[in-house]
Structure 1
Amino acid sequence: MVASARDDNDILKRAKDALDADYVPHDDEPYMNEQQQNYFRMLLVEWKRSIHLAADTTLQSLQDGPIREPDLNDRASSETDWSIELRTRDRQRKLISKIDSALRRIDEGEYGYCEVTGDPIGLKRLVARPVATMTVEAQEAHERREKISRDD
């Protein structure tokens, strides 16, 4: 799981780097103004594009042929690597639906606001996790409730 989270962060970092660095959202401007919305829209679109490129690379590698390691241990290791890669791509497939949802929220004027409390999520959180739908406090409360219900 750590490797896939690191992979997601690397893809997001590349997406941020691909954006025009002339503008970065600041706390001293009106929250979710048009410029901020455009920034996050471009970031989300670039992130999605980067995920698709990574998935295409994985697909191409899979189509190049089966694993043909002569040693059983090497073959098992390669198959484990492929399994991790496929789980990562599945996780990213789910992330794409979250990105699409965030883009839809931008179009509807709901992006950047907590779906639970309606409070602003905050620019720092959105820059770190552009698909965030809750404030840190609401997310923590949600995770505590989720943990309690799992423990029951």
Structure 2
Amino acid sequence: MNKKELEYFRNLLQEELDALLVKAGIVVGELIGTAYTNESDPLDRATEEQARNNQLRIRDRESRLIGKIRKSLQAIDEGTYGICEACEEPIDIARLKARPVTSYCITCKTKQEAFERVIGS
């Protein structure tokens, strides 16, 4: 991968990281600021709790994505970005554009997913 491509992915990943961190800060503030209401209707309480759980689930996914982005940025700094962790071959640029945080080429990822389906993970 050439310098221009690496800089493209560094900027792409950094912009996504910055956006996620800003969004996470806003949402965490909202979740902390939102106290449970003392609704007398159990259905209202259940609806409120479900909405809160959904927000927490989304935040958890975003938190994992932040970790993957940071790992990808570190790989760029170390010169290992775009190299498959399994076979150590270059990952196709089209795959990186579709999934910039990937650390596996499509062949190895497909094998990994097939294995996970077999063992039931």
| TM-score, structure 1 as length reference | 0.72
2:95 and 2:17 map into 1 onto residues whose CA distance is 19
Aligned to 1:135: 105
| RCO higher in structure (CA 8 A, sep ≥6) | 2
Aligned to 1:82: 52
Alignment of 1:59-70 (within 5 A): 59-68=28-37, 70=39
2:31 and 2:68 map into 1 onto residues whose CA distance is 26
After TM superposition, what 4+ stretches of structure 1 lie above 3 angstroms from structure 2?
Answer: none
Aligned to 2:96: 126
Aligned to 1:117: 87
2:100 and 2:11 map into 1 onto residues whose CA distance is 11
Query: What whole-Å deviation, never above 9, does each CA across 1:79-109 have from its counterpart, x for those lacking one?
Result: 1111011111112112211111111111111
Aligned to 1:36: 5
| TM-score, structure 2 as length reference | 0.88
Is there any run of 5+ residues in structure 1 with no aligned partner, and where?
1-31
**CA displacement at 1:113 relative to structure 2:** 1.6
CA RMSD of aligned residues (A): 1.7
Identical residues among aligned pairs (%)? 36
- Secondary structure at the counterpart of residue 120 of structure 2: helix
